[in-house]
Amino acid sequence: MTKVTFHNDPVTLLGTQVTVGDTASEFSVLANDLSEVKLSDSKGKVRLISVIPSIDTGVCSVQTRKFNEAAASLGEDVQILTVSVDLPFAQARWSAAEGIDAVQTVSDHRDLSFGEAYGTIIQELRLLTRSIFVIDKDDKVTYVEYVSEVTDHPDYDKALSAVKELTK
């Protein structure tokens, strides 16, 4: 079990944590227009799933912008999702204001389906812990990072290298 802190205080993660080599679990989240988005919708693509606690915070904003900027160099066979429990309306507002056009922000607020399937629910806060998952075209998990301190940045370079390795 991964140990995670929030402002250096330990938190409890709920759900099933995943490891490299696992088959990626299906999930159901909401797009900004309230339509359902599932992992299977992007079958046949490499997926980078960037998980953040809240889009309206500094590190989360930077994380989403960095992956949006990187998307142009990754090609058409890569889909990047940013998952949080923010309401779809807040995600849409933030994305429009920030010019986010290559990353799809999706909300897990309704059922915590993603959080449960990937072990990212912070029990004490009902937020998702900062984490990154890379899933190949055949739904195998090839990269996992649960960031040990929620307020820290993930390793952007390692995550993007994992994606590029799958698109060679």
pLDDT in the model for residue 125: 97
Distance, CA of 126 to CA of 148 (rounded, Å) = 17
Query: pTM of whole model > 0.85?
Result: yes
Distance, CA of 20 to CA of 18 (rounded, Å) = 7
pLDDT in the model for residue 80: 98
The 8-class DSSP code of residue 161 comes to H
Structure tokens at 41: 């919708």
pLDDT in the model for residue 166: 96
pLDDT in the model for residue 72: 86
Structure tokens at 119: 């072990």
Helices (H) and strands (E) in the chain, counts: 4, 12
In this prediction, the residues of the chain whose per-residue pLDDT falls under 50 are none
Q: Catalytic: which of 37, 60, 70, 106?
A: 60
Listed in sequence order, the residues at least 6 apart from 147 whose beta carbon sits closer than 8 Å to its beta carbon are 4, 129, 130, 131, 132, 153, 154
Instruction: Tell me whether residue 60 is one of the annotated catalytic residues.
Output: yes
pLDDT in the model for residue 2: 85
pLDDT in the model for residue 110: 96
